[in-house]
Amino acid sequence: MHVVYSDPAVTRFIPGGVRDAAGTRQRVIDLIAHHECYGVSKWAVTLSDSGVLIGDCGLQFLPGRPDLELGFHFAREYWGHGYATEAASACLGWALTNRTERVVAIVDPQHRASQRVLTKLGMQPVGRDHILDRTWIVYEASGQRELPKA
């Protein structure tokens, strides 16, 4: 994951910004701890044919918030190939079927690509909120809805 978390273009819209190797290691440790505590986390996304790690996608609780948040991060060379939509659709579908009736996603107002992914998933913008020291557009999906096939 260090190739993802150390790239300024990738981390431009991620809280915490660019991470060094120790920061990436700590992020992975934190995600493992989140999974152990809550049963969900961000999971590795790999190419099915080669097993190459290309990013992460999954669910986590935002600090002090009750809703599961959907998030994804991909290495720059894998942008624009539909991987975020495919992975996020699977995670969102699983969450709405097995875990909760509401999932949120937060996105930087300037991050148009992620906004497009969330819209493709049927998530709707429901306002703005100040979370993790930044202002975000909050998207929401709720209920047992039919998700698009990625």
What are the per-10-residue average pLDDT scores of the chain (150 residues)? 91 89 94 94 96 96 92 96 97 94 96 97 97 94 65
Number of other residues whose CB lies within 10 A of the CB of residue 83: 20
pLDDT at 118: 98
Residue 148 included in any domain: no
150: in domain? no
All residues at 6 or more sequence positions from 84 whose CB lies less than 8 Å from its CB, including other chains: 55, 57, 72, 74, 113, 114, 117
- Residue 64's pLDDT is 87
Q: Vertex 8, ends 67 and 2: CA angle to 5°?
A: 75
Q: Which residue has the tokens 């790999």?
A: 46
pLDDT number for residue 44: 94
Give the range of the structural domain holding residue 14, as residue numbers without chain letter: 2-142
Q: The domain spanning residue 57 has which CATH number?
A: 3.40.630.30
Residue 74 falls inside a structural domain: yes
pLDDT of residue 95: 95
**Residue 70 falls inside a structural domain:** yes
Please report the pLDDT score of residue 32 as a whole number: 95
> What's the number of domains the chain is made of?
1
pLDDT at position 41 is 96
